[in-house]
């Protein structure tokens, strides 16, 4: 692998910023739609599920050390079946990148730039992302180093400013609608963003210390889950479950409520800046994974020539993937959750079982030779 190594701390920040990416805007509304005033509970349950998922991914990485998930496919299944799985992962990553870009365009056209064509927004953002990817993975990691403290400070300021607006009766009574809505919301949360973590197996082999990389993976996920738990709970405590569910960009609406005297108002720019930065981080990581899955599937070696053509495909797909917001929400809820489950759980589990059988066969074969 020709890419430079990155530090475990940089990997942790990458996972953290990826986790809150589009989720910080979209998750509160999605969870409140199902779980109502218990919408904070699915974040806790989903975080525990994410720990199990990361354990699955790390177990796979330990059985086939030093390999990306595309290379793992080739090792376990050979050239042709391995290429089938690796190209499937490319399509999954491509679709994820397209959805992230479309989320950005829909948010900006709906809340800030209603007169700006969504294609123009997508094009500008993709150009910025493409420039970042041309400089390689180490450059992406250093970008996370820069943005990480900036996002943490802005989020703490955001929480402090909302403290006077909190009403604890908004989340009472607990479990008023039973457990079923909470489980439905948990499934939604696990699908987005937790099952998307499987693509980090494209980056994990580039971490300097694999053991520390695994710990960083868990820490980044937990920290991101903590932020999503905080923002979802704040939406419920300040706006209530009904208002949270009815506002697609609930955390952005939450920021509009902040008002301290006559001198501090309309500070939704804080959440907007947080989202601009985190979605850039998620988009650039997704784009990098998309290009690398394609490049490694065909053993091209050099991925830079792929940036422009794949970028243009993503630009086109982000426009045609959904004709309107209603269709996009339905796709996200009923189609993407199934795709995420297959690629984030079913395939890694299949790979792990195959790797265990292969490891056991190699071990028994070497044992028989020694005797």
Average pLDDT over residues 197-209: 93
pLDDT given at position 1: 44
- Is 223's pLDDT higher than 80? yes
- Is 368's pLDDT higher than 70? no
Q: Strand, coil or helix: what is 99?
A: helix
- Is 66's pLDDT higher than 70? yes
What DSSP state is assigned to residue 117?
A: -
Q: What is the residue-wise DSSP string for 341-370?
A: HIIIIIHHHHHHHHHHHHHHHHHHHHHHHH
CB contact at 8 A, 57 and 216: no
pLDDT given at position 250: 87
pLDDT given at position 266: 61
Measure the CA–CA gap between 176 and 363, rounded to whole angstroms: 54
Average pLDDT over residues 140-153: 91
Measure the CA–CA gap between 194 and 222, rounded to whole angstroms: 11
pLDDT given at position 371: 53
Beta bridge partners of 6: 207
- Is 87's pLDDT higher than 90? yes
Measure the CA–CA gap between 74 and 170, rounded to whole angstroms: 52
Measure the CA–CA gap between 171 and 153, rounded to whole angstroms: 27
The more confident residue out of 173 and 77 is 77
Measure the CA–CA gap between 284 and 97, rounded to whole angstroms: 9
Q: What is the residue-wise DSSP string for 311-341?
A: HHHHHHHHHHS-SSHHHHHHIIIIIHHHHHH
> Which tokens belong to 286?
């997704």
Average pLDDT over residues 303-324: 90
CB contact at 8 A, 324 and 317: no
Average pLDDT over residues 222-233: 95
Least confident of 70-74, 306-310, 366-370: 366-370
Average pLDDT over residues 71-100: 94
Measure the CA–CA gap between 318 and 356, rounded to whole angstroms: 39
Query: Which three-class secondary structure string do you get for 144-204?
Result: HHHHHHHHHHHHHHHHHHHHHHCCHHHHCCCCCCCCHHHHHHHHHHHHCCHHHHHHHHHCH
Average pLDDT over residues 204-213: 91
pLDDT in tens, 233-291: 999 999 988 898 888 888 888 877 877 666 555 666 777 788 888 888 899 999 999 99
pLDDT given at position 261: 62
Phi then psi dihedrals of residue 259, to 5 deg: -155, 115
Q: How confident is the model at residue 57 (pLDDT cuts 50, 70, 90)?
A: very high
């Amino acid at each position: 692998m020709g890419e430079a190594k990155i530090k475990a701390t940089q990997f942790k920040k990458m996972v953290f910023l990826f986790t809150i990416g589009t989720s910080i805007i979209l998750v509160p509304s999605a969870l409140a739609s199902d779980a109502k005033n218990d919408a904070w509970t699915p974040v806790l349950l989903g975080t525990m599920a994410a720990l199990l998922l990361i354990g699955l991914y790390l177990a796979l990485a330990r059985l086939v050390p030093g390999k990306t998930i595309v290379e793992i496919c080739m090792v376990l299944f050979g050239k042709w079946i391995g290429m089938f799985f690796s190209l499937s992962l490319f399509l999954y990553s491509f679709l994820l990148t397209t959805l992230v870009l479309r989320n950005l365009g829909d948010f900006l056209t709906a809340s800030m730039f209603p007169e700006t064509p969504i294609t123009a927004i997508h094009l500008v953002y993709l150009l910025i992302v493409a420039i970042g990817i041309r400089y390689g993975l180490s450059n992406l990691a250093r970008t996370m180093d820069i943005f990480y403290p900036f996002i943490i400070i802005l989020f703490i300021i955001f929480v402090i400013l909302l403290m006077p607006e909190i009403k604890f009766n908004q989340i009472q009574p607990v479990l008023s609608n039973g457990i079923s809505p909470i489980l439905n919301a948990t499934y939604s949360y696990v699908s987005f963003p937790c099952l998307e973590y499987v693509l980090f197996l494209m980056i994990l082999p580039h971490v300097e210390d694999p053991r520390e990389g695994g710990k960083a993976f868990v820490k980044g996920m937990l920290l991101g889950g903590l932020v999503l738990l905080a923002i979802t709970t704040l939406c419920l405590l300040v706006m209530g479950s009904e208002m949270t569910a009815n506002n697609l960009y609930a955390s952005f609406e939450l920021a509009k409520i902040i008002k301290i005297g006559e001198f501090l108002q309309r500070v939704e720019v804080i959440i907007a800046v947080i989202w601009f930065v985190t979605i850039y981080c998620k988009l650039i990581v997704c784009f990098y994974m998309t290009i690398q899955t394609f490049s490694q599937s065909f053993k091209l070696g050099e991925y830079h020539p792929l940036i422009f053509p794949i970028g243009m495909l993503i630009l086109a797909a982000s426009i045609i993937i959904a004709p309107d917001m209603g269709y996009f929400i339905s796709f996200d809820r009923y189609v993407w959750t199934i795709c995420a489950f297959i690629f984030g759980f079913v395939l890694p589990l299949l790979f792990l079982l195959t790797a265990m059988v292969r490891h056991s066969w190699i071990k028994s074969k070497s044992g028989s030779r020694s005797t």
